[in-house]
Amino acid sequence: MKSWMGRIALSAVAAAAFAGSTALKADMSPVKVSGYAIGDYYWIAQSNTLGKSGMPGEGYSGQSGWDFRRIYISLDQNLDDAFSWETRLELDGGDFTGNNGGTSSTTLIQPYLKTAFLKWKYMDGEYAWFGLNVTPEFDFVEGQWGYRSVEKTPLDLQGWSISVDQGVGLMGSLGMPGLSYEAVVGNGTGQKALAGGLSGVNDPKTGVGKEFAASITYQPMDMLVAQVEGNYDNSVTDGGFANPDAYKYLLGAFVELKSDMGRLGLQYDQRDAVDGTPAQAGKNGAARQELVSAFLVGNILDNLSFYARMDQLLWEPNPTDGDNLFNLGTASQYIEQATGYYNTTAILGLDYKASANVHFEPNVEVVSYEAQKSGGAGANWGVPSQDVIPRLTMYVTY
In this predicted structure, the answer to whether residue 232 has a pLDDT above a threshold of 80 is: yes
Q: What pLDDT does residue 209 have?
A: 74
Q: What pLDDT does residue 193 have?
A: 56
Q: What are phi and psi of 118, to 5 degrees?
A: -100, 130
| Residue predicted with more confidence, 138 or 227 | 227
Band of pLDDT at residue 163, cut at 50, 70 and 90? confident
Q: What are phi and psi of 324, to 5 degrees?
A: -110, 15
Q: Are 393 and 150 in contact (CB under 8 A)?
A: yes
Q: What pLDDT does residue 48 have?
A: 81
Q: What pLDDT does residue 248 have?
A: 82
Average pLDDT score over residue span 221-231: 96
Question: CA angle 110-113-119, nearest 5°?
Answer: 160
| Residue predicted with more confidence, 373 or 154 | 154
Q: How many residues does the chain have?
A: 398
* C-beta atoms surrounding 170 within 10 Å: 16
Classify 300 in phi/psi space as left (phi over 0), alpha (psi -120 to 50) or beta: alpha
Question: CA angle 142-180-222, nearest 5°?
Answer: 65
Q: Which domains does the chain have, with CATH numbers?
A: 2-397 (2.40.160.10)
Strands 126-134 and 110-123: antiparallel
Q: What pLDDT does residue 237 have?
A: 55
pLDDT digits (tens, 9 = 90+) for 45-64: 988 876 555 555 567 788 88
Residue whose C-alpha is closest to residue 35's, from 2, 76, 6, 69: 76
In this predicted structure, the answer to whether residue 272 has a pLDDT above a threshold of 70 is: yes
Whole-angstrom distance, CA of residue 11 vs CA of residue 31: 16
Q: What pLDDT does residue 29 have?
A: 85
Band of pLDDT at residue 22, cut at 50, 70 and 90? very low
| Residue predicted with more confidence, 369 or 97 | 369
Q: What pLDDT does residue 251 have?
A: 95
- Burial tier of 177 (Cβ tally within 10 Å: 0-12, 13-18, 19+): exposed
- Label each residue of 299-360 as H, E or C: EEECCEEEEEEEEEECCCCCCCCCCCCCHHHCCCCCCCCCCCCEEEEEEEEEEEECCCCEEE
* 197 contacts: CB under 8 Å, gap ≥ 6: 203
pLDDT digits (tens, 9 = 90+) for 328-378: 334 454 567 776 677 899 999 999 999 999 999 999 999 998 866 544 444
SS3 content of the chain, % helix, strand, coil (to 5): 10, 45, 40
- Burial tier of 248 (Cβ tally within 10 Å: 0-12, 13-18, 19+): buried
Residue whose C-alpha is closest to residue 349's, from 384, 385, 382, 390: 390
